[in-house]
Amino acid sequence: MPTIAVSDENFESEVLNANGPVLVDFWAEWCGPCKQIGPALEELSGEMAGKVTIAKVNIDENPGIPSKYGVRGVPTLMLFSGGQVSATKVGAMPKSKIADWLNSAVSAA
């Protein structure tokens, strides 16, 4: 299952009203670390299908949502559960660290 692109317009329906946890990757085209973790997030999206949905928000094209949630740097990963932020990580990390963090955050939610 590929990651889904989310915009200011569909954020509520795709993330806040989702039937399960959603990891939102706030990223930008010009961000090197964002490009580094992109392939890992695509892989995790397939590996964790059914457990968590992975969505991506381009902060340059959709400035409303990042500003609402106080995103100050990219990449910022926010895990939403039941319409609320349940966990946040800022900065790039290896796929294994993202997976470990996601697994523990999802099981705690």
Q: What is the pTM of this model?
A: 0.96
Q: Active-site residue among 6, 15, 23, 34? A: 34
List, as one string, the DSSP characters of 23-75.
EEEEE-TT-HHHHHHHHHHHHHHHHTTTT-EEEEEETTT--HHHHHTT--SSS
Tell me whether residue 78 is one of the annotated catalytic residues.
no
Topology at the third CATH level for domain 4-108: Glutaredoxin (3.40.30)
CA distance 74 to 83: 21
- List the domain boundaries for the chain: 4-108
pLDDT for 23 equals 97
Top-confidence residue, 1 or 35: 35
pLDDT tens-place string over residues 43-99: 999 999 999 999 999 999 999 999 999 999 999 999 999 999 999 999 999 999 999
**Active-site annotation holder among 6, 31, 48, 55:** 31
31 has catalytic annotation: yes
Instruction: Give Cβ neighbours of residue 26 (< 8 Å, ≥ 6 apart).
Output: 57, 59, 65, 66, 69, 71, 74, 75, 76, 77, 78
